[in-house]
Structure formats: structure tokens, C-alpha cells
Amino acid sequence: MLETIISPKKAERKPWEMFLIGFIYATLAIFISNFLFLKNHALEQYTGIFILLLTVIFSLPLMYHLIRYEEKKGELIHNEKILIKEHGRALAALLFLFLGFVVAFSILYLVLPTDIANLNFQSQIRTFCLINSRGNIEECIKSITAGSLLVPNNIKEGMNYVASILATNLAVFFNCLIFSLLFGAGAIFILAWNASVIATAIGIFARKSSFGLFGGFARYMLHGLPEIAGFFVAALAGGIIGIAMIRHRNNKKQFFHVLHDSIELISLGLVILIFAAFIEVFVTPLIIPLL
């Protein structure tokens, strides 16, 4: 039933409606997981994984049909500028879906009792802290609430930060590309996971900051949104290539036309990631002290 709420055409025509879809999917995933698993002592520690799994299950049909829809555009539209613009509609729809996930997860992290919220997002907290504080959760949470950031002292140090961030993001980028290539809409798993991790960090920040959710979003989404846009571009490109390999295995001309379109998407995604890394290093640290 849920997969019939919105079609790919409507999603691209009214991408803002995808925000509500993402919000509903993420909210349902949390409440269903809590109802089924929180009272089970053997499974309660895995509630965060079940939340992610349900969010992905809800999103897969739409993601798959959207990728198929974009692949058909690649067959029919031969003007590259028009084609990129058309893919941009799909990207906007997916970004609103992602924002719906993030807002739902972060709000529910704030409004649910602390013990339940920590069980719901235990895996996400550990993942975030493993990346940022080598697994020291208490120190990690303090650093989230204190607003500490990588602030470069000079351009050279800043460029080193940019290179480090890019290395991490490129790994996610190519994982999205490969997952989507092999499993069609498989990249939604990585993207939903990133949404839940970012939302958890926003929720922790908002609980301690006087600026609440606004401060959390300013800290993490200023550079996080273009990063996710880059990842979604990789997911679209991988899915389009995968579908084209199946549909046009006997039509090399058509396949190479779609492949060329996908390579352009991949290039665009890489440019977006570079842009996001510069924002994270050189722009975000200027804004956060104002919060």
C-alpha cells in the first residue's frame, strides 16, 4: 500500500511532497520497531538496525521505479543539458525524501524518553563516535554538544582537512554506486543509514544547545546536504547503468548512450562532493560560533 502513495512522475513534479513521504516512512519505522522489539530483551539492542531496515523496505519500491524512470529518460532524451535538468528533478525528490528521514529521526530522538531514544539509535551513536572519537562515546557526546569542529589554522591545513573528508566521502560515494549497480535501488540502505546517523548527531546537539534543532541542522546539514546530493547522484548513476545492462544487452548503441549519461552523472556527483568538503572545512566553522 505504501508504495502507491506517490509515483515517480508525481515525485519529480512535486518533489517537496517527498519530504512528507520520508517523514512518514521514518516515523512508522520507529514506532513499528518499538512496538515489536523494545519489549524483547534479546532484540532491543538491535532496534536501531530494525528501524533502518523498515525505512529501507518502505523506500525500495519508490527508489526502484524512480531509477527505472530516469533510465528511460536516458533513452529518449539526447540533449545533454535537458537530460541533466531532468535528472535534477529526481535528485530534488530524493533530497526531500532524505530530509524527511532526518527531520523525523531527529525529532523523535528529542521527544522520546532518553532511554528509549538511546536504544532506538544506539548503533547510530556508536557509529558516529567511532568515526569522530575513536569509540569513546562519552567524550564524543561532549564534543557534539560543545560544538567542536575541525577549524584550519591556515590554507595548507585546511586543504589537508578537505583531502581527509573527501577520502571518506569518496568511499561512501563508490559504495553507493556499486550497491545501486548490483542491487538496483540498493544504495537506499547506505543513504538511510547516513540519514539516521546525522539525525542522531543533530538530536544530541539539540538536547544540549539553546538553539535546538535549528542549531543542529545548521551544524550538520550545511555541508551534509550537498554531500548527500553527491551520494544520491552516485545511486542514480549506478542504478541507471544496472538497468541499462539488462535492458540493452543486445543494443550496444543504446547502452553506450545511457552509459555516457551515467558517466556525466558520476562526474557531477564528484564535483558536488568536492564542493561539500570545502563548505565543511571553510564555511561551517565560520557559522557555528554564531550559534
What is the tens place of the pLDDT at every residue in 49-87? 889 899 998 888 888 778 777 767 766 666 656 666 777
Residues 194 and 172: beta-carbon distance below 8 Å: yes
Domain span at 55: 10-290
- The reported pLDDT for the residue numbered 46 is 80
Q: Give first-to-last CA distance, the chain, whole Å.
A: 43
Residue 107 domain-assigned (yes or no): yes
Residue 216 domain-assigned (yes or no): yes
The arithmetic mean of pLDDT across residues 282-291, rounded, is: 68
- The reported pLDDT for the residue numbered 120 is 86
Q: Over pLDDT 70: what percentage of the chain? A: 77
Is residue 205 pLDDT above 90, yes or no? no
The arithmetic mean of pLDDT across residues 179-190, rounded, is: 75
In a 10 Å sphere around its CB, with 0-12 CB exposed, 13-18 middle and 19+ buried, how is residue 82 labelled? exposed
Residue 1 domain-assigned (yes or no): no
All 3 cell numbers of residue 71?
Answer: 533510465
C-alpha neighbours within 13 Å on the C-beta side of residue 12? 17
The arithmetic mean of pLDDT across residues 182-189, rounded, is: 73
Which range (103-112, 129-138, 206-215) has the least confidence? 129-138
All 3 cell numbers of residue 117?
Answer: 531514544
| Counted domains in the chain | 1
Is residue 141 pLDDT above 80, yes or no? no
Q: How far apart are CA 90 and CA 99, in angstroms?
A: 14
Residue 113 domain-assigned (yes or no): yes
Residue 81 domain-assigned (yes or no): yes
Residue 3 domain-assigned (yes or no): no
Which band of pLDDT confidence, cut at 50, 70 and 90, is reported for residue 221?
Answer: confident
Residue 4 domain-assigned (yes or no): no
The whole-model pTM stands at: 0.81
Mean pLDDT, the chain, rounded, equals 78
